[in-house]
Structure 1
Amino acid sequence: MMSPSAPAGHVTARAYDSMLTVFFPKDLSSSVTPDYLPYTLWHLANSVTGTVAGTLSMQALLQALGLGAGTAIGLAATTNWIIKDGFGLLGGVLFAGFMGNRFDASPKYYRFLANLCIQASNLMELLTPMVPHLFLPMASLSNIGKNIGFLAASATRASMHRGFTRTDNLGDITAKAGAQATAAGLVGTGIGIVLSWAIGTDPHTLLAAFVPLSLLNLFAAYKSNRAVVTRHMNIERAELTLRAVLDNPVSQRITPPASVATPSPAEKLVAPTPFDISRRETMFGWRKHPFRVALRLEEPVDAPRCPLATMSVEGMIAFSAGFGDLAAQRYRICVASDAETVWLWFLDTADHEDVTRGFIHACAVRHALETGRASAHAGWLRNSPADAYLVSSARVDNILAALVAAGWDIAHTHLGDRNRRLHVGPVPVQ
Structure 2
Amino acid sequence: MTYEHLPLRSIKKTSINDLILEGKRQMIKAFMPKGYPDSVTKNYWGFVKWQFLHNVAGSVTGVLSTQSLLYAMGLGAKSIPLAAALNWIIKDGLGQLGGVIYAAFISDRFDSEPKRHRFQATVAMQIASILELLAPLWPGSFLLIASISNIGKNIAWLAGSATRAQMHKTFALRDNLGDITGKSGSQTTAASLIGTALGVVISGTITKYNPDITAATSAVQPIIPIFLAFGPFSFFNIYGNYRSSLYVTTSTLNVPRAEMILYGLLNQLDGATTLSKIKCDIRDLISSPKKVSSEEIFVGRYHSPFEIPLEIEPALHHYTSKKHVHDLHAALKQKGLLHSEEYFLLHVPYHHLFGNLRKMKRPMQQNSHRHKHHTQLPGSRQHLSLWFSQNANTRDMIKGFCHACAIRHALEYVDPATSEDKDQVLDIIRDTHILVENSFESLISALESKEWETEHVFFTERDDGRLFVEK
Q: How does 1:269-308 map to 2 (within 5 A)?
A: 269=282, 270-304=285-319
Cα distance between partner residues in 2 of 1:240 and 1:399: 14
The verdict on how the C-alpha distance between 1:188 and 1:281 changes in structure 2, with shifts beyond 3 A counting, is same
Q: Cα–Cα, structure 1 residues 67 and 183, in superposed 2: closer, same or farther, change >3 Å?
A: farther
Q: Secondary structure at the match of 1:164?
A: coil
The 5-angstrom pairing of residues 164-179 of structure 1 reads 164-179=171-186
Q: Deviations over 1:178-237 (max 9, x none)?
A: 001111111111111111111225311111111111111111111111221111111111
Deviation at 1:312, TM superposition (A): 10
Aligned positions, number:
409
The answer to whether the aligner puts 1:27 opposite 2:35 as a matched pair is yes
Distance, in Å, in 1 between the alignment partners of 2:333 and 2:105 is 37
Answering whether residue 65 of structure 2 is matched by residue 57 of structure 1, we say yes
Paired with 1:315 and 1:253, the residues of 2 have a C-alpha distance of: 27
CA distance in 2, matches of 1:171, 1:127: 40
**3-state SS of paired residue (2:59):** helix
Is 1:85 the counterpart of 2:128 in the alignment? no
**1:57–1:126 Cα contact (<8 Å) kept:** yes
Aligned-CA RMSD value: 3.2
Alignment of 1:13-412 (within 5 A): 13-66=21-74, 73-200=80-207, 201=210, 202-248=222-268, 251-255=269-273, 268-269=281-282, 270-304=285-319, 310=325, 316-320=331-335, 322-326=336-340, 329-336=341-348, 340-371=382-413, 384-385=427-428, 386-412=430-456
Following the alignment from structure 1 to structure 2, what is the Cα–Cα distance between the partners of residues 74 and 9? 55
Partner residue in 2 for 1:421: 466
Unaligned stretches of 5+ residues in structure 2: 1-10, 211-221, 351-380
CA distance in 2, matches of 1:156, 1:173: 14
Offset from partner CA, 1:360-411 (integer Å, 9 cap, x none): 222122223335669xxxx997682222332343223333222222221121
Specify whether residues 307 and 243 from structure 1 end up closer, same or farther in structure 2 by C-alpha distance, changes over 3 A only. farther
Question: Do 1:296 and 1:341's aligned partners in 2 also have CA atoms closer than 8 Å?
Answer: yes
Aligned partners of 1:109 and 1:283 also within 8 Å: yes
Q: CA deviation at 1:140?
A: 1.0
Deviation of 1:311 after TM superposition, in Å, equals 5.6
> What percentage of aligned pairs have identical amino acids?
36
Counterpart CA distance in 2 for 1:132 and 1:318 is 63
Is the CA contact 1:372–1:382 (under 8 Å) kept in the aligned structure 2?
no
Could you list the per-position Cα deviations for residues 29-70 of structure 1 after superposition, in whole angstroms to 9, with x for gaps in the alignment? 2222222211111011000000011101111111223389xx
Stretches of structure 1 that go unaligned for 5 or more consecutive residues are none
Distance in 1 of aligned mates of 2:182 and 2:110: 20
Distance 1:232 1:140 in 2: 36
Contact preservation (8 Å) 1:50, 1:217: yes
The secondary structure found in structure 2 opposite 1:303 is helix
Could you tell me how far apart the structure 2 residues matched to 1:176 and 1:162 are? 13
State whether residues 57 and 236 of structure 2, in contact with CA within 8 Å, keep that contact through their aligned partners in structure 1.
yes
Counterpart contact for 1:42–1:221, Cα < 8 Å: yes
- Partner SS for 2:295: coil
Q: Distance in 1 between matches of 2:181 and 2:37?
A: 17
Asked if 2 retains the 8 angstrom alpha-carbon contact of 1:49 and 1:213, the reply is: yes
**Mean alpha-carbon deviation: is it higher for 284-293 or for 117-126?**
284-293
CA contact (8 A) 1:355 1:416 kept: no
Kept in 2, the 8 Å contact 1:370–1:382? The answer is no
CA distance in structure 2 between the partners assigned to 1:20 and 1:308 by the alignment: 67
